[in-house]
Structure 1
Amino acid sequence: MRDVIALVLGGGRGTRLFPLTGYRSKPAVPLGTKYRLIDIPLSNCINSGINRAYVLTQFMSVSLHRHVRQTYRFDQFNGGFVELLAAQETMDAGSDWYEGTADAVRKNLKYLEQPWIKYVLILSGDQLYRMDYNSMMKTHLDTQAEVTIAGLPCTREQAKAFGIMRFDDTGRIEGFLEKPQTDEEMDLVKTDPAWIDSRGIPSQGRDLVASMGIYLFNRDFLVEVLRKTSYRDFGKEVFPAAFRTRRVMLHLFDDYWEDIGTIRAFYEANLSLCRQDSPFPLVSPEAPVYTRARFLPPAAIDGATISTSLIGDGCRIGRGSVIENSVIGLRCVIGENVTIRNSVIMGADMYESSAE
């Protein structure tokens, strides 16, 4: 994967995640005591052998810049890097603000012109999943695709929140319908469950395939389409035009995947990490999640009762306290005889003094 560059899109203002995004961008939102959402796509890249990535940002990006700069530092001999590209006004790109997903990439095309780059993997910075991108690359090469889109089988109820793809028996994508709400609309893009089964993925009654917002482009095609058009969004403009004349293929994925776009999704995803049967186990030796080393002491627990919970490093929990089904972030100080249930506590950047 040495000829692949990853672009992680930092997203917009994150209004649906407010107030979590009041002082930070969506990819910088904390997850599971010590991680940030940006750690998910970057860890997937590293575990897949992709060690060169750009993160495109524009809103409230100070803490994201600090986290990435302090975490993803490769040694000088392997050529790896993770660099942040903030929205900026340039002579060739014009306006400084990104006006959509495709526009964000267009304004940074100069970083994709290096001769070693053959493929561009475009990722979202606010999703929770574990994927080996080598399998997506295999689909891309085997099908001689110009673009490959990752898709997830879903139920009709789930489909109401996603863009749904229509494709032929070879997996070539022919159409796209954004957030269908009625059975009549869904029937236009439905898939034979037997086709999903034939790909080694149990359909389990699912007859629709949702776009995951993960795209693998041939670099030359991506540069061509963005230079020759003024398209601003991949899902709404680039792909509908490409379906007619270019080879756009589907890569099926069937594991846990969650779009952390709302407060409810953030809350439920965090609490799911506490369970022994978590759909996204943080303990995964073959595909770990990386984050910044903070050199904090282990949590100090003095006679408290804790069940089905995650306790962050540097926490102090007093005698007689009860914590159930909760995520307790870094450096939390919990006094004696405190009861916390079904909660996500974000943690702190520093310890307060006794006077504070």
Structure 2
Amino acid sequence: MRVAAMIMAGGEGSRLTVLSEHRAKPSVPFAGKYRIIDFTLSNCVNSRIYDVAILTQYRPHSLNDHIGIGKPWDLDRVRGGVRLLQPYQARGSQGWYMGTADAVYQNLDYLTNRDVDRVIILSGDHIYKMDYRPMLAYHEEKGADLTVAVMNVPLEETDRFGIMTTNKNGRVIEFHEKPKNRDKGTLASMGIYVFNVDTLVRRLQEGHEREPNLDFGKHVIPAMIAEDKVYAYTFEGYWVDVGTIDAYWRTSLALCEPDSPLNLWDTSFPVRTRSQERPPVKCSEQGRIHRSLVSNGCTIHGVVDHSVLSPGVYVSPGAVVRESVIMNDSWIGPGAVIDRAIIDKEVIIGSGTQVGWGDDMRPNWQLPDKLDSGITVVGKGAHLPSNLRVGRNVLVDVEVDEHVCRGYELIPSGATVTREEVLMPPQDETAASGIADESHITAAAAKEEIT
């Protein structure tokens, strides 16, 4: 059995707000030193699948730079290796990928020009560790045309997934894409598919004639259930979609726990990534690190508590970082407090500034469905001035200059800071002066609480 992998990595990831504004979702940093796509790529290599195509579309530059020729994953090979496949305009084609299956359809020549008889189609934006070989063996054992990896999810979450019903032999007899009624069972598709290549080619060519915006969940799988042998393979390990701010934040901080379900330290199944050469972590006499992941190149003079720091983060004396994710090369000024926030790369937080201030948990008034759990997000390259208080569920755009916030003492909860102005929630348009209340968190108090 000869196997190739195709990884879907062109998603915009709009629910991650500014974290995916300048990069595709699979390229978003995760767990300090990694990118989200590292997990799927590492799964392939650990499963001894060395013929891998990555289908990109939205903002591919960061992802292209990260993957390169695939050397960190042992994919810099003369035969096989990694290929980055981007949409292109050709005669008689529409160019941009219009759906997940359409992306594969536009790159069928990649498969037909290779000596493979099975293809595993994967998403590049999920966090999990999985050896695909048992699933491939199950596919052969059942004589399947298509095998879909599934897992049981809580009943209240079934409207987020494609839900499958199987018979006693594991054959899929019904498929419902994100059903609104919670009466279809709890067996959810993980977006991992094993196809016989000849079946996939035939079904995509037939389906594309009827539906140009061809999608696996909406079109291909429902059609195949009636005419082909489709089986479900149950996966019982750890798997999570970090496609929302809250899911990203919670999944990141769960890595700090001693019983974290995702084992990054298992040398028998390593997660590989492209790493920069950085010096070791430096923690000064006044610095304290508690229950956190701190990457190489970080300098800690303040307090880091239950947080994840990417390479090169600098935490100044008297600063406190609590329950937060801080990405590469950000600078946290003296006496600053970061509480329940996600700070993207190369951000500067001025001295005495508090990000994640107060008890007001109102949602972001412009993005109430994306920022509603109390997490404040600061975009890449933003600069917040000194002695500013920034509330909960605040969105700070990428590359915001410090002059935008000058004259403000408080950016209230639910506000948005763009590169031109501060957009206050309607009831706070005159509240820029912001008087401190009992929920005020000082750096000294936070440090005393931890110590």
TM range (shorter): 0.7 to 0.9
SS of the aligned residue for 2:267 comes to coil
* 2:256 paired with 1:311: no
Which of 233, 239, 244 does residue 257 from structure 1 map onto? 239
1:71–1:293 contact (8 Å) kept in structure 2: no
Alignment of 1:123-138 (within 5 A): 123-138=122-137
Distance 2:50 2:218 in 1: 30
2:304–2:322 contact (8 Å) kept in structure 1: yes
* 2:305 paired with 1:327: no
Matched letter for residue 34 of structure 1: K
- CA deviation vs aligned residue, 1:57-115 (integer Å, no higher than 9, x gap): 111110100000065364777734111111111235x1111000000001111100135
Residue 259 of structure 2 corresponds to which residue in structure 1? 277
RCO (CA 8 Å, sep 6+): is it higher in 1 or 2?
Answer: 1
Matched letter for residue 341 of structure 1: R
Distance 1:60 1:36 in 2: 15
Q: 1:283 to 1:217 in 2, by over 3 A?
A: same
2:33–2:275 contact (8 Å) kept in structure 1: no
TM-score by length of 1: 0.88
Residue 86 of structure 1 corresponds to which residue in structure 2? 86
Distance 1:76 1:275 in 2: 35
Residue 57 of structure 2 corresponds to which residue in structure 1? 58
Q: 1:239 to 1:285 in 2, by over 3 A?
A: same
CA RMSD of aligned residues (A): 1.9
Q: How many residues align?
A: 328
1:72–1:81 contact (8 Å) kept in structure 2: no
Q: 1:171 to 1:54 in 2, by over 3 A?
A: same
- Report the Cα offset of residue 327 of structure 1: 0.4
Larger Rg: 2
Which of 309, 330, 336 does residue 317 from structure 2 map onto? 336
SS of the aligned residue for 2:18 comes to coil
Q: 1:44 to 1:224 in 2, by over 3 A?
A: same
Residue 229 of structure 1 corresponds to which residue in structure 2? 207
Distance 1:70 1:274 in 2: 32
- CA deviation vs aligned residue, 1:105-128 (integer Å, no higher than 9, x gap): 011111001351111110001100
2:20–2:28 contact (8 Å) kept in structure 1: yes
Alignment of 1:165-314 (within 5 A): 165-183=164-182, 186=183, 189-190=184-185, 208-230=186-208, 231=211, 232-303=214-285, 304-314=287-297
Residue 160 of structure 1 corresponds to which residue in structure 2? 159
TM-score by length of 2: 0.70
- Report the Cα offset of residue 174 of structure 1: 1.2
* 2:150 paired with 1:151: yes
Gaps of 5+ in 2: 330-344, 349-382, 384-451
Which range moves more in the overlay, 241-250 or 12-21?
12-21
Distance 2:270 2:315 in 1: 29
- CA deviation vs aligned residue, 1:206-225 (integer Å, no higher than 9, x gap): xx210000000001111111
Q: 1:260 to 1:227 in 2, by over 3 A?
A: same
